[in-house]
Chains A and B, each alone.
Chain A
Amino acid sequence: MTTSTNSTSSRGDRPPTGLALWWKQTRKTLLPPLCGIGGFLLFWQLSATLGLTKLAGPLSLFTEERTRELLFYPFFDRGGLDKGLFLHAMNSLSRVVLGYSLAAVVGIAAGIAVGLNKGLDRALDPLFQFLRMVAPLAWVPIALVLFQNNQPAAIFVIFVTSIWPILINTAEGVRQIPQDYRNVALVLQMSNRNFFTKILLPSALPYIFTGLRIAIGLAWLAIIAAEIVMPGTPGIGFFIWDAYQNSYVSDIILGVIWIGAIGLILDRLMVWLQNRIAAGQ
Protein backbone atom coordinates (compact mmCIF):
# COMPACT_ATOMS: atom_id res chain seq x y z
CA MET A 1 0.00 0.00 0.00
CA THR A 2 2.66 2.46 1.11
CA THR A 3 4.93 1.55 -1.74
CA SER A 4 2.20 1.93 -4.31
CA THR A 5 1.24 5.42 -3.11
CA ASN A 6 4.91 6.35 -3.12
CA SER A 7 5.34 5.18 -6.67
CA THR A 8 2.25 7.00 -7.93
CA SER A 9 3.26 10.23 -6.21
CA SER A 10 6.77 10.00 -7.65
CA ARG A 11 5.29 9.41 -11.11
CA GLY A 12 3.03 12.42 -10.59
CA ASP A 13 5.99 14.62 -9.60
CA ARG A 14 7.95 13.70 -12.68
CA PRO A 15 7.62 16.61 -15.12
CA PRO A 16 5.66 15.74 -18.25
CA THR A 17 7.66 15.75 -21.46
CA GLY A 18 7.11 16.46 -25.14
CA LEU A 19 3.58 17.08 -26.34
CA ALA A 20 2.08 16.58 -22.89
CA LEU A 21 4.30 19.30 -21.45
CA TRP A 22 3.46 21.69 -24.26
CA TRP A 23 -0.25 21.08 -23.79
CA LYS A 24 0.01 21.56 -20.01
CA GLN A 25 1.76 24.87 -20.45
CA THR A 26 -0.40 26.29 -23.25
CA ARG A 27 -3.79 24.91 -22.30
CA LYS A 28 -4.68 27.88 -20.11
CA THR A 29 -3.34 30.52 -22.48
CA LEU A 30 -4.44 29.00 -25.78
CA LEU A 31 -7.86 27.53 -25.14
CA PRO A 32 -9.87 30.64 -24.07
CA PRO A 33 -8.82 32.83 -27.03
CA LEU A 34 -9.49 29.94 -29.44
CA CYS A 35 -12.99 29.57 -27.97
CA GLY A 36 -13.57 33.31 -28.20
CA ILE A 37 -12.50 33.58 -31.82
CA GLY A 38 -14.36 30.41 -32.80
CA GLY A 39 -17.56 31.62 -31.14
CA PHE A 40 -17.30 34.98 -32.84
CA LEU A 41 -16.80 33.40 -36.29
CA LEU A 42 -19.70 31.02 -35.71
CA PHE A 43 -22.01 33.87 -34.70
CA TRP A 44 -20.92 35.91 -37.71
CA GLN A 45 -21.41 33.02 -40.14
CA LEU A 46 -24.83 32.17 -38.70
CA SER A 47 -26.08 35.73 -38.89
CA ALA A 48 -24.89 35.89 -42.53
CA THR A 49 -26.42 32.53 -43.48
CA LEU A 50 -29.71 33.35 -41.76
CA GLY A 51 -29.81 36.66 -43.59
CA LEU A 52 -29.68 38.79 -40.43
CA THR A 53 -27.02 41.01 -42.03
CA LYS A 54 -26.05 41.81 -45.59
CA LEU A 55 -22.37 41.24 -44.72
CA ALA A 56 -20.99 37.99 -46.11
CA GLY A 57 -19.85 35.43 -43.53
CA PRO A 58 -16.27 34.27 -42.96
CA LEU A 59 -16.84 31.17 -45.08
CA SER A 60 -17.18 33.44 -48.13
CA LEU A 61 -13.39 33.67 -48.06
CA PHE A 62 -13.39 30.09 -49.30
CA THR A 63 -16.65 29.94 -51.25
CA GLU A 64 -15.98 32.96 -53.47
CA GLU A 65 -13.55 31.76 -56.12
CA ARG A 66 -11.87 35.20 -56.58
CA THR A 67 -11.30 35.60 -52.84
CA ARG A 68 -10.10 32.02 -52.41
CA GLU A 69 -7.43 32.65 -55.00
CA LEU A 70 -6.37 35.82 -53.19
CA LEU A 71 -6.33 33.95 -49.90
CA PHE A 72 -4.16 31.04 -51.04
CA TYR A 73 -1.86 32.89 -53.43
CA PRO A 74 -0.66 36.03 -51.65
CA PHE A 75 2.55 36.30 -53.71
CA PHE A 76 1.36 36.37 -57.36
CA ASP A 77 2.19 39.40 -59.47
CA ARG A 78 0.52 39.87 -62.86
CA GLY A 79 1.82 43.39 -63.14
CA GLY A 80 0.07 46.69 -62.46
CA LEU A 81 -2.51 46.48 -59.69
CA ASP A 82 -3.17 42.77 -60.14
CA LYS A 83 -1.00 41.48 -57.30
CA GLY A 84 -1.23 39.13 -54.36
CA LEU A 85 -2.19 40.59 -51.01
CA PHE A 86 1.29 40.11 -49.55
CA LEU A 87 2.68 42.43 -52.22
CA HIS A 88 -0.09 44.96 -51.61
CA ALA A 89 0.64 44.81 -47.89
CA MET A 90 4.39 45.28 -48.45
CA ASN A 91 3.70 48.39 -50.51
CA SER A 92 1.56 49.76 -47.71
CA LEU A 93 4.12 48.78 -45.10
CA SER A 94 6.92 50.62 -46.87
CA ARG A 95 4.76 53.76 -46.91
CA VAL A 96 3.96 53.35 -43.21
CA VAL A 97 7.62 52.77 -42.35
CA LEU A 98 8.59 55.96 -44.19
CA GLY A 99 5.90 58.13 -42.58
CA TYR A 100 6.43 56.56 -39.15
CA SER A 101 10.23 56.91 -39.22
CA LEU A 102 9.83 60.55 -40.13
CA ALA A 103 7.34 60.97 -37.26
CA ALA A 104 9.74 59.21 -34.86
CA VAL A 105 12.70 61.42 -35.77
CA VAL A 106 10.75 64.69 -35.74
CA GLY A 107 8.61 63.67 -32.76
CA ILE A 108 11.52 62.66 -30.52
CA ALA A 109 13.56 65.75 -31.44
CA ALA A 110 10.62 68.12 -30.95
CA GLY A 111 9.57 66.30 -27.78
CA ILE A 112 13.03 66.75 -26.24
CA ALA A 113 13.06 70.44 -27.21
CA VAL A 114 9.61 70.99 -25.71
CA GLY A 115 10.44 68.93 -22.61
CA LEU A 116 13.58 70.93 -21.88
CA ASN A 117 12.17 74.38 -22.63
CA LYS A 118 9.25 75.52 -20.48
CA GLY A 119 8.50 78.57 -22.66
CA LEU A 120 8.35 76.48 -25.81
CA ASP A 121 6.19 73.97 -23.95
CA ARG A 122 3.65 76.60 -22.92
CA ALA A 123 3.59 78.06 -26.43
CA LEU A 124 3.10 74.80 -28.31
CA ASP A 125 1.33 72.38 -26.00
CA PRO A 126 -2.24 73.63 -26.68
CA LEU A 127 -1.52 73.38 -30.42
CA PHE A 128 -0.28 69.77 -30.08
CA GLN A 129 -3.24 68.79 -27.92
CA PHE A 130 -5.57 70.24 -30.55
CA LEU A 131 -3.88 68.73 -33.60
CA ARG A 132 -3.68 65.24 -32.14
CA MET A 133 -7.48 65.09 -32.03
CA VAL A 134 -7.78 65.52 -35.81
CA ALA A 135 -8.68 62.22 -37.49
CA PRO A 136 -6.45 60.76 -40.24
CA LEU A 137 -9.20 61.14 -42.86
CA ALA A 138 -9.52 64.85 -42.11
CA TRP A 139 -5.86 65.31 -42.97
CA VAL A 140 -6.31 63.84 -46.45
CA PRO A 141 -7.70 66.92 -48.25
CA ILE A 142 -5.26 69.16 -46.40
CA ALA A 143 -2.35 66.92 -47.39
CA LEU A 144 -3.48 66.93 -51.04
CA VAL A 145 -3.72 70.73 -51.13
CA LEU A 146 -0.40 71.02 -49.34
CA PHE A 147 1.59 68.66 -51.56
CA GLN A 148 -0.39 68.52 -54.83
CA ASN A 149 0.98 65.01 -55.24
CA ASN A 150 -0.35 61.64 -54.05
CA GLN A 151 2.82 59.95 -52.78
CA PRO A 152 4.05 62.69 -50.41
CA ALA A 153 0.45 63.39 -49.36
CA ALA A 154 -0.05 59.78 -48.26
CA ILE A 155 3.20 59.78 -46.30
CA PHE A 156 2.26 63.09 -44.72
CA VAL A 157 -1.07 61.66 -43.54
CA ILE A 158 0.76 58.76 -41.82
CA PHE A 159 3.34 61.16 -40.41
CA VAL A 160 0.84 63.63 -39.02
CA THR A 161 -1.32 60.87 -37.51
CA SER A 162 1.50 59.12 -35.69
CA ILE A 163 3.72 62.01 -34.56
CA TRP A 164 1.64 63.27 -31.61
CA PRO A 165 1.93 60.37 -29.17
CA ILE A 166 5.70 60.22 -29.83
CA LEU A 167 6.11 63.95 -29.29
CA ILE A 168 3.88 64.20 -26.24
CA ASN A 169 5.35 61.13 -24.52
CA THR A 170 8.94 62.16 -25.21
CA ALA A 171 8.29 65.63 -23.80
CA GLU A 172 6.70 64.08 -20.70
CA GLY A 173 9.66 61.71 -20.31
CA VAL A 174 12.09 64.63 -20.39
CA ARG A 175 9.98 66.63 -17.93
CA GLN A 176 9.92 63.61 -15.60
CA ILE A 177 13.72 63.29 -15.33
CA PRO A 178 14.18 63.31 -11.54
CA GLN A 179 15.76 66.45 -10.10
CA ASP A 180 18.32 64.15 -8.45
CA TYR A 181 19.71 63.11 -11.85
CA ARG A 182 19.85 66.75 -12.97
CA ASN A 183 21.69 67.62 -9.74
CA VAL A 184 24.24 64.87 -10.42
CA ALA A 185 24.83 66.37 -13.87
CA LEU A 186 25.16 69.84 -12.33
CA VAL A 187 27.61 68.88 -9.60
CA LEU A 188 29.73 66.87 -12.05
CA GLN A 189 29.50 69.79 -14.50
CA MET A 190 28.64 67.33 -17.26
CA SER A 191 28.84 68.63 -20.80
CA ASN A 192 25.55 69.07 -22.64
CA ARG A 193 26.43 66.15 -24.87
CA ASN A 194 27.15 63.89 -21.91
CA PHE A 195 23.96 64.96 -20.14
CA PHE A 196 22.00 64.22 -23.29
CA THR A 197 23.39 60.75 -23.96
CA LYS A 198 24.11 59.55 -20.42
CA ILE A 199 21.15 60.94 -18.47
CA LEU A 200 18.41 62.46 -20.62
CA LEU A 201 17.99 59.71 -23.20
CA PRO A 202 18.17 56.67 -20.88
CA SER A 203 15.92 58.37 -18.36
CA ALA A 204 13.26 59.29 -20.93
CA LEU A 205 13.57 56.05 -22.91
CA PRO A 206 10.60 54.20 -21.35
CA TYR A 207 8.34 57.17 -22.16
CA ILE A 208 9.71 57.43 -25.70
CA PHE A 209 8.99 53.75 -26.28
CA THR A 210 5.44 54.10 -24.97
CA GLY A 211 4.93 56.87 -27.53
CA LEU A 212 6.53 54.81 -30.30
CA ARG A 213 4.29 51.87 -29.53
CA ILE A 214 1.06 53.88 -29.57
CA ALA A 215 2.26 55.58 -32.75
CA ILE A 216 2.97 52.40 -34.74
CA GLY A 217 -0.67 51.38 -34.23
CA LEU A 218 -1.92 54.79 -35.33
CA ALA A 219 0.40 54.88 -38.35
CA TRP A 220 -0.94 51.57 -39.53
CA LEU A 221 -4.53 52.71 -38.86
CA ALA A 222 -3.92 55.71 -41.12
CA ILE A 223 -2.96 53.56 -44.10
CA ILE A 224 -6.51 53.30 -45.48
CA ALA A 225 -7.00 57.05 -45.25
CA ALA A 226 -3.61 57.59 -46.86
CA GLU A 227 -4.19 55.22 -49.76
CA ILE A 228 -7.68 56.35 -50.62
CA VAL A 229 -6.01 59.46 -52.02
CA MET A 230 -3.71 57.28 -54.16
CA PRO A 231 -5.83 55.56 -56.77
CA GLY A 232 -3.86 53.40 -59.17
CA THR A 233 -0.99 52.49 -56.78
CA PRO A 234 -0.74 49.10 -55.13
CA GLY A 235 -1.42 48.97 -51.40
CA ILE A 236 -3.72 47.23 -48.95
CA GLY A 237 -5.76 50.39 -48.37
CA PHE A 238 -6.25 50.88 -52.07
CA PHE A 239 -7.14 47.19 -52.45
CA ILE A 240 -9.98 47.51 -49.92
CA TRP A 241 -11.23 50.75 -51.44
CA ASP A 242 -11.14 49.18 -54.90
CA ALA A 243 -12.96 46.04 -53.69
CA TYR A 244 -15.61 48.23 -52.07
CA GLN A 245 -16.19 50.12 -55.32
CA ASN A 246 -16.63 46.77 -57.10
CA SER A 247 -18.83 45.40 -54.29
CA TYR A 248 -16.44 42.45 -53.65
CA VAL A 249 -17.44 42.10 -50.01
CA SER A 250 -15.43 38.94 -49.29
CA ASP A 251 -12.33 40.67 -50.70
CA ILE A 252 -12.86 43.51 -48.23
CA ILE A 253 -13.04 41.00 -45.37
CA LEU A 254 -9.80 39.38 -46.50
CA GLY A 255 -8.12 42.80 -46.76
CA VAL A 256 -9.29 43.70 -43.26
CA ILE A 257 -7.86 40.43 -41.91
CA TRP A 258 -4.50 41.27 -43.48
CA ILE A 259 -4.58 44.75 -41.94
CA GLY A 260 -5.44 43.41 -38.51
CA ALA A 261 -2.75 40.73 -38.64
CA ILE A 262 -0.01 43.12 -39.74
CA GLY A 263 -1.07 45.68 -37.12
CA LEU A 264 -0.84 43.00 -34.45
CA ILE A 265 2.61 41.91 -35.63
CA LEU A 266 3.86 45.53 -35.64
CA ASP A 267 2.58 46.07 -32.10
CA ARG A 268 4.20 42.86 -30.81
CA LEU A 269 7.43 43.87 -32.53
CA MET A 270 7.46 47.17 -30.65
CA VAL A 271 6.77 45.41 -27.34
CA TRP A 272 9.65 43.03 -28.02
CA LEU A 273 11.96 45.93 -28.91
CA GLN A 274 10.86 47.85 -25.82
CA ASN A 275 11.57 44.90 -23.55
CA ARG A 276 14.98 44.41 -25.11
CA ILE A 277 16.19 48.01 -25.10
CA ALA A 278 14.48 49.47 -22.06
CA ALA A 279 14.98 46.39 -19.89
CA GLY A 280 15.81 46.91 -16.24
CA GLN A 281 14.43 50.41 -15.99
Chain B
Amino acid sequence: MFTPDTLAHSQATTAATAATAAALPPLLRFEQLSKVYATPRGPYPVLADINLEVNRGEFVCVIGHSGCGKSTLLNMVSGFATPSSGRVLLDGQPILRPGPDRMVVFQGYALLPWLTAYDNVHLAIDAVQPQLSEHQKREIAMEHLAMVGLTAAVDKRITQLSGGMKQRVAIARALAIRPQVLILDEPFGALDAITKEELQEELLSIWNTQKCTVLMITHDIDEALFLADRLVMMTNGPSAGIGEVLSIDFPRPRSREDIMEDPRYYELRNSALDFLYNRFAHDADEAC
Protein backbone atom coordinates (compact mmCIF):
# COMPACT_ATOMS: atom_id res chain seq x y z
CA MET B 1 0.00 0.00 0.00
CA PHE B 2 2.88 2.37 0.73
CA THR B 3 5.00 1.21 -2.18
CA PRO B 4 4.48 4.39 -4.25
CA ASP B 5 5.82 6.42 -1.38
CA THR B 6 8.90 4.29 -0.83
CA LEU B 7 9.63 4.53 -4.54
CA ALA B 8 9.24 8.29 -4.49
CA HIS B 9 11.40 8.44 -1.37
CA SER B 10 14.72 8.57 -3.18
CA GLN B 11 13.55 11.33 -5.50
CA ALA B 12 11.88 13.52 -2.90
CA THR B 13 13.87 12.82 0.24
CA THR B 14 13.22 16.24 1.76
CA ALA B 15 9.50 16.04 1.21
CA ALA B 16 9.34 12.55 2.64
CA THR B 17 11.36 13.38 5.75
CA ALA B 18 9.32 16.51 6.36
CA ALA B 19 6.12 14.51 6.46
CA THR B 20 5.49 11.73 8.89
CA ALA B 21 4.30 8.37 7.65
CA ALA B 22 0.87 9.06 9.11
CA ALA B 23 0.34 12.36 7.26
CA LEU B 24 1.63 11.88 3.74
CA PRO B 25 1.81 14.97 1.52
CA PRO B 26 -1.05 15.11 -1.00
CA LEU B 27 -0.34 13.40 -4.30
CA LEU B 28 -2.03 16.10 -6.35
CA ARG B 29 -2.22 19.78 -5.52
CA PHE B 30 -4.13 22.38 -7.54
CA GLU B 31 -2.72 25.85 -6.76
CA GLN B 32 -4.70 28.96 -7.78
CA LEU B 33 -5.48 27.25 -11.06
CA SER B 34 -7.15 29.30 -13.80
CA LYS B 35 -7.85 28.63 -17.44
CA VAL B 36 -8.76 31.24 -20.04
CA TYR B 37 -9.68 30.26 -23.60
CA ALA B 38 -9.13 32.68 -26.45
CA THR B 39 -12.34 32.94 -28.48
CA PRO B 40 -13.24 35.17 -31.45
CA ARG B 41 -15.25 37.29 -29.01
CA GLY B 42 -12.31 37.78 -26.70
CA PRO B 43 -10.87 35.79 -23.80
CA TYR B 44 -13.29 33.46 -22.02
CA PRO B 45 -12.37 32.48 -18.44
CA VAL B 46 -13.44 28.84 -18.00
CA LEU B 47 -11.97 28.13 -14.58
CA ALA B 48 -10.78 30.54 -11.91
CA ASP B 49 -8.92 30.10 -8.64
CA ILE B 50 -9.17 26.36 -8.21
CA ASN B 51 -7.50 25.09 -5.05
CA LEU B 52 -7.67 21.43 -4.14
CA GLU B 53 -5.55 18.70 -2.64
CA VAL B 54 -6.01 15.04 -3.49
CA ASN B 55 -4.45 12.40 -1.29
CA ARG B 56 -2.78 9.20 -2.36
CA GLY B 57 -5.28 6.45 -3.01
CA GLU B 58 -8.24 8.80 -2.82
CA PHE B 59 -11.25 8.42 -5.09
CA VAL B 60 -12.51 11.87 -6.08
CA CYS B 61 -15.55 12.56 -8.25
CA VAL B 62 -16.15 15.90 -9.95
CA ILE B 63 -19.72 16.95 -10.69
CA GLY B 64 -21.18 20.06 -12.26
CA HIS B 65 -23.37 21.24 -15.09
CA SER B 66 -22.10 20.79 -18.63
CA GLY B 67 -19.88 23.62 -19.77
CA CYS B 68 -18.56 24.28 -16.28
CA GLY B 69 -15.03 23.22 -17.14
CA LYS B 70 -14.86 19.78 -15.52
CA SER B 71 -13.12 18.30 -18.54
CA THR B 72 -10.76 21.28 -18.73
CA LEU B 73 -9.89 20.75 -15.07
CA LEU B 74 -9.02 17.10 -15.64
CA ASN B 75 -7.20 17.91 -18.88
CA MET B 76 -4.80 20.02 -16.86
CA VAL B 77 -4.05 16.96 -14.73
CA SER B 78 -3.60 14.68 -17.74
CA GLY B 79 -1.52 17.40 -19.43
CA PHE B 80 -3.63 17.86 -22.56
CA ALA B 81 -4.35 21.43 -21.45
CA THR B 82 -1.98 23.85 -19.74
CA PRO B 83 -3.11 26.29 -17.03
CA SER B 84 -3.35 29.98 -17.90
CA SER B 85 -2.20 30.74 -14.37
CA GLY B 86 -1.53 28.68 -11.28
CA ARG B 87 -0.37 25.09 -11.52
CA VAL B 88 -1.08 21.45 -10.82
CA LEU B 89 1.56 19.56 -8.87
CA LEU B 90 1.97 15.79 -8.90
CA ASP B 91 4.25 14.67 -6.07
CA GLY B 92 5.50 18.25 -5.89
CA GLN B 93 6.39 18.40 -9.58
CA PRO B 94 4.39 20.70 -11.88
CA ILE B 95 2.53 18.86 -14.64
CA LEU B 96 3.74 20.00 -18.06
CA ARG B 97 2.71 17.33 -20.58
CA PRO B 98 0.73 14.09 -20.85
CA GLY B 99 2.39 11.02 -19.36
CA PRO B 100 1.59 7.42 -18.46
CA ASP B 101 1.70 8.21 -14.71
CA ARG B 102 -1.66 9.97 -15.29
CA MET B 103 -3.52 7.56 -17.53
CA VAL B 104 -6.83 8.57 -19.01
CA VAL B 105 -9.93 6.51 -19.75
CA PHE B 106 -11.24 8.58 -22.63
CA GLN B 107 -14.89 9.47 -23.10
CA GLY B 108 -15.07 7.72 -26.50
CA TYR B 109 -12.92 4.76 -25.31
CA ALA B 110 -10.12 5.69 -27.80
CA LEU B 111 -9.31 2.06 -28.50
CA LEU B 112 -7.59 1.11 -31.75
CA PRO B 113 -10.31 -0.68 -33.74
CA TRP B 114 -7.95 -2.68 -35.96
CA LEU B 115 -6.49 -4.47 -32.92
CA THR B 116 -7.94 -7.08 -30.58
CA ALA B 117 -8.76 -6.35 -26.95
CA TYR B 118 -5.51 -8.04 -25.91
CA ASP B 119 -3.43 -6.10 -28.45
CA ASN B 120 -4.84 -2.79 -27.23
CA VAL B 121 -3.74 -3.52 -23.69
CA HIS B 122 -0.43 -4.99 -24.83
CA LEU B 123 0.28 -1.90 -26.93
CA ALA B 124 0.06 0.33 -23.87
CA ILE B 125 2.27 -1.93 -21.74
CA ASP B 126 4.77 -2.18 -24.58
CA ALA B 127 4.92 1.62 -24.98
CA VAL B 128 5.32 2.35 -21.27
CA GLN B 129 7.49 -0.58 -20.20
CA PRO B 130 9.41 -1.73 -23.27
CA GLN B 131 12.10 -3.27 -21.06
CA LEU B 132 9.80 -6.06 -19.81
CA SER B 133 10.03 -9.49 -21.39
CA GLU B 134 7.29 -10.56 -23.78
CA HIS B 135 6.20 -13.12 -21.20
CA GLN B 136 5.80 -10.46 -18.50
CA LYS B 137 3.90 -8.16 -20.84
CA ARG B 138 1.53 -10.97 -21.69
CA GLU B 139 1.01 -11.80 -18.05
CA ILE B 140 0.21 -8.18 -17.12
CA ALA B 141 -2.17 -7.80 -20.06
CA MET B 142 -4.02 -11.02 -19.27
CA GLU B 143 -4.19 -10.20 -15.56
CA HIS B 144 -5.85 -6.83 -16.20
CA LEU B 145 -8.22 -8.16 -18.85
CA ALA B 146 -9.25 -10.82 -16.32
CA MET B 147 -9.87 -8.11 -13.69
CA VAL B 148 -12.53 -6.55 -15.91
CA GLY B 149 -13.97 -9.96 -16.79
CA LEU B 150 -12.82 -10.11 -20.39
CA THR B 151 -10.76 -13.31 -20.35
CA ALA B 152 -13.10 -14.91 -22.88
CA ALA B 153 -12.98 -11.95 -25.27
CA VAL B 154 -9.25 -11.17 -25.38
CA ASP B 155 -8.89 -12.13 -29.03
CA LYS B 156 -11.97 -10.28 -30.23
CA ARG B 157 -11.51 -7.20 -32.34
CA ILE B 158 -12.72 -3.95 -30.79
CA THR B 159 -15.34 -3.63 -33.54
CA GLN B 160 -16.91 -6.89 -32.32
CA LEU B 161 -17.33 -5.66 -28.73
CA SER B 162 -20.32 -3.96 -27.09
CA GLY B 163 -20.04 -0.52 -25.51
CA GLY B 164 -19.66 -1.97 -22.03
CA MET B 165 -16.95 -4.37 -23.17
CA LYS B 166 -15.09 -1.55 -24.94
CA GLN B 167 -15.13 0.46 -21.74
CA ARG B 168 -13.80 -2.60 -19.88
CA VAL B 169 -10.90 -2.85 -22.35
CA ALA B 170 -10.21 0.87 -21.90
CA ILE B 171 -10.12 0.44 -18.11
CA ALA B 172 -7.89 -2.64 -18.39
CA ARG B 173 -5.52 -0.73 -20.68
CA ALA B 174 -5.41 2.22 -18.29
CA LEU B 175 -4.73 0.10 -15.21
CA ALA B 176 -2.22 -2.20 -16.91
CA ILE B 177 0.37 0.57 -17.03
CA ARG B 178 0.00 1.14 -13.28
CA PRO B 179 -0.68 4.90 -13.31
CA GLN B 180 -0.36 6.97 -10.15
CA VAL B 181 -3.54 8.80 -11.09
CA LEU B 182 -6.40 7.30 -13.09
CA ILE B 183 -8.48 9.91 -14.87
CA LEU B 184 -11.97 8.98 -16.07
CA ASP B 185 -14.06 11.42 -18.08
CA GLU B 186 -17.71 10.35 -17.73
CA PRO B 187 -16.74 6.74 -18.35
CA PHE B 188 -20.19 5.21 -17.97
CA GLY B 189 -22.30 7.97 -19.51
CA ALA B 190 -23.05 6.08 -22.72
CA LEU B 191 -23.90 2.75 -21.08
CA ASP B 192 -27.24 1.26 -20.09
CA ALA B 193 -28.18 1.24 -16.41
CA ILE B 194 -27.35 -2.43 -15.73
CA THR B 195 -23.97 -2.39 -17.47
CA LYS B 196 -23.24 0.87 -15.70
CA GLU B 197 -23.83 -0.63 -12.25
CA GLU B 198 -21.75 -3.69 -13.10
CA LEU B 199 -18.87 -1.55 -14.24
CA GLN B 200 -19.09 0.72 -11.20
CA GLU B 201 -18.76 -2.33 -8.98
CA GLU B 202 -15.85 -3.70 -11.01
CA LEU B 203 -14.07 -0.34 -10.96
CA LEU B 204 -14.51 -0.14 -7.20
CA SER B 205 -13.18 -3.64 -6.57
CA ILE B 206 -10.16 -3.01 -8.79
CA TRP B 207 -9.51 0.30 -7.07
CA ASN B 208 -9.72 -1.51 -3.72
CA THR B 209 -6.94 -3.87 -4.76
CA GLN B 210 -4.74 -1.41 -6.69
CA LYS B 211 -5.24 1.66 -4.52
CA CYS B 212 -4.42 4.11 -7.27
CA THR B 213 -5.72 7.66 -7.02
CA VAL B 214 -8.84 8.24 -9.11
CA LEU B 215 -10.26 11.45 -10.55
CA MET B 216 -13.59 10.91 -12.24
CA ILE B 217 -16.05 13.22 -13.94
CA THR B 218 -19.67 12.21 -13.61
CA HIS B 219 -23.17 13.56 -14.11
CA ASP B 220 -24.67 11.01 -11.78
CA ILE B 221 -24.96 11.84 -8.07
CA ASP B 222 -25.71 8.23 -7.07
CA GLU B 223 -22.66 7.03 -8.96
CA ALA B 224 -20.49 9.55 -7.13
CA LEU B 225 -21.95 8.64 -3.73
CA PHE B 226 -21.33 4.94 -4.35
CA LEU B 227 -17.76 5.34 -5.62
CA ALA B 228 -16.10 8.42 -4.21
CA ASP B 229 -14.36 9.44 -0.99
CA ARG B 230 -15.05 13.06 -1.82
CA LEU B 231 -17.38 14.77 -4.26
CA VAL B 232 -16.16 18.04 -5.74
CA MET B 233 -19.12 20.15 -6.87
CA MET B 234 -18.37 22.91 -9.32
CA THR B 235 -20.12 26.22 -9.79
CA ASN B 236 -21.26 27.34 -13.23
CA GLY B 237 -18.98 29.13 -15.67
CA PRO B 238 -17.67 31.53 -16.74
CA SER B 239 -14.94 31.54 -14.10
CA ALA B 240 -16.23 28.31 -12.61
CA GLY B 241 -14.76 27.25 -9.33
CA ILE B 242 -15.15 24.63 -6.64
CA GLY B 243 -18.39 25.43 -4.86
CA GLU B 244 -18.36 22.76 -2.22
CA VAL B 245 -16.63 19.47 -1.43
CA LEU B 246 -18.70 16.69 0.14
CA SER B 247 -16.93 14.04 2.21
CA ILE B 248 -18.50 10.64 1.63
CA ASP B 249 -17.29 8.46 4.45
CA PHE B 250 -19.27 5.27 4.06
CA PRO B 251 -17.18 2.30 5.20
CA ARG B 252 -15.39 0.28 2.53
CA PRO B 253 -15.77 -2.16 0.91
CA ARG B 254 -19.14 -0.69 0.04
CA SER B 255 -22.27 -2.38 -1.10
CA ARG B 256 -25.09 -0.55 -2.80
CA GLU B 257 -27.68 -1.97 -0.37
CA ASP B 258 -25.83 -0.89 2.78
CA ILE B 259 -25.34 2.63 1.47
CA MET B 260 -28.97 3.00 0.49
CA GLU B 261 -30.00 2.08 4.03
CA ASP B 262 -27.67 4.64 5.60
CA PRO B 263 -29.56 7.86 6.51
CA ARG B 264 -26.43 9.88 5.66
CA TYR B 265 -26.87 8.79 2.05
CA TYR B 266 -30.03 10.90 1.74
CA GLU B 267 -28.47 13.84 3.53
CA LEU B 268 -25.55 13.81 1.11
CA ARG B 269 -27.81 13.25 -1.86
CA ASN B 270 -30.08 16.11 -0.87
CA SER B 271 -27.25 18.53 -0.34
CA ALA B 272 -25.77 17.60 -3.73
CA LEU B 273 -29.18 18.02 -5.39
CA ASP B 274 -29.68 21.31 -3.59
CA PHE B 275 -26.29 22.53 -4.79
CA LEU B 276 -26.88 21.53 -8.42
CA TYR B 277 -30.53 22.43 -8.85
CA ASN B 278 -31.18 25.27 -6.41
CA ARG B 279 -28.04 27.13 -5.53
CA PHE B 280 -26.25 26.61 -8.86
CA ALA B 281 -29.08 25.72 -11.18
CA HIS B 282 -28.11 25.61 -14.79
CA ASP B 283 -29.21 28.74 -16.63
CA ALA B 284 -30.59 27.44 -19.91
CA ASP B 285 -29.86 30.74 -21.70
CA GLU B 286 -26.21 30.45 -20.83
CA ALA B 287 -25.84 26.84 -21.89
CA CYS B 288 -22.72 26.19 -23.94
Q: Does A24 contact B (CB under 8 A)?
A: no
Select from chain A the residue with minimum beta-carbon distance to B104. Answer: A187
A188 B100 Cβ-Cβ under 8 A? yes
Contact flag A186-B108 (CB < 8 Å), given A194-B127, A280-B159: no
A-binding segment of B41-49, B109-117, B204-212, B235-243: B109-117
Residue among A183, A191, A205, A280 making CB contact with B104, cutoff 8 Å: A183
Contact flag A188-B177 (CB < 8 Å), given A183-B98, A183-B110, A202-B112: yes
Residues from chain A with Cβ under 8 Å of B100 in the complex: 187-189
Q: Does A180 contact B (CB under 8 A)?
A: yes
Separation of A46 and B248 alpha carbons in the complex (Å): 90
A187 B78 Cβ-Cβ under 8 A? yes
- B89-126, CB under 8 A of A: which get 1 and which 0? 00000000111101110101110111000000001101
A186 B127 Cβ-Cβ under 8 A? no
- A236-280, CB under 8 A of B: which get 1 and which 0? 000000000000000000000000000000000000000000001
Residue among A178, A180, A188, A203 making CB contact with B127, cutoff 8 Å: A188
B106 A180 Cβ-Cβ under 8 A? yes
Select from chain A the residue with minimum beta-carbon distance to B120. Answer: A184
Contact flag A184-B110 (CB < 8 Å), given A190-B127, A194-B127, A198-B123: yes
Interface residues on A, range: 10 to 19
Residues from chain B with Cβ under 8 Å of A2 in the complex: none
Separation of A178 and B111 alpha carbons in the complex (Å): 11
A183 B127 Cβ-Cβ under 8 A? no
B184 CB to closest chain A CB, in angstroms?
A: 13
Residue among A178, A184, A189, A281 making CB contact with B114, cutoff 8 Å: A281
- A187-229, CB under 8 A of B: which get 1 and which 0? 1111100100011001101000000000000000000000000
A50 CB to closest chain B CB, in angstroms?
A: 58
Q: Does A43 contact B (CB under 8 A)?
A: no
- A168-193, CB under 8 A of B: which get 1 and which 0? 00000000001011011011111100
Q: Does B80 contact A (CB under 8 A)?
A: yes
Residues from chain A with Cβ under 8 Å of B269 in the complex: none
Residues from chain B with Cβ under 8 Å of A198 in the complex: 112, 123
A279 CB to closest chain B CB, in angstroms?
A: 9
10 pairs of A and B residues whose beta carbons are closest in the complex: A180-B110, A188-B127, A187-B98, A186-B98, A190-B127, A202-B114, A184-B110, A281-B114, A187-B104, A188-B100
Point out residues on A near B: beta carbons under 8 Å: 178, 180-181, 183-184, 186-191, 194, 198-199, 202-203, 205, 280-281
User: What are 27 inter-chain pairs, A to B, with CB distance below 8 A?
Assistant: A180-B109, A181-B110, A183-B98, A183-B104, A184-B106, A184-B124, A186-B80, A186-B97, A186-B98, A187-B78, A187-B99, A187-B103, A188-B177, A189-B99, A189-B127, A190-B127, A191-B127, A194-B126, A198-B112, A198-B123, A202-B112, A203-B114, A205-B114, A280-B113, A280-B114, A280-B159, A281-B114
Known: A180-B110, A189-B127; 19 extra A-B contacts, CB below 8 A, are A180-B109, A181-B112, A183-B104, A184-B112, A186-B80, A186-B98, A187-B78, A187-B99, A187-B102, A188-B127, A188-B128, A189-B98, A189-B100, A191-B127, A198-B112, A202-B112, A203-B114, A280-B157, A281-B114
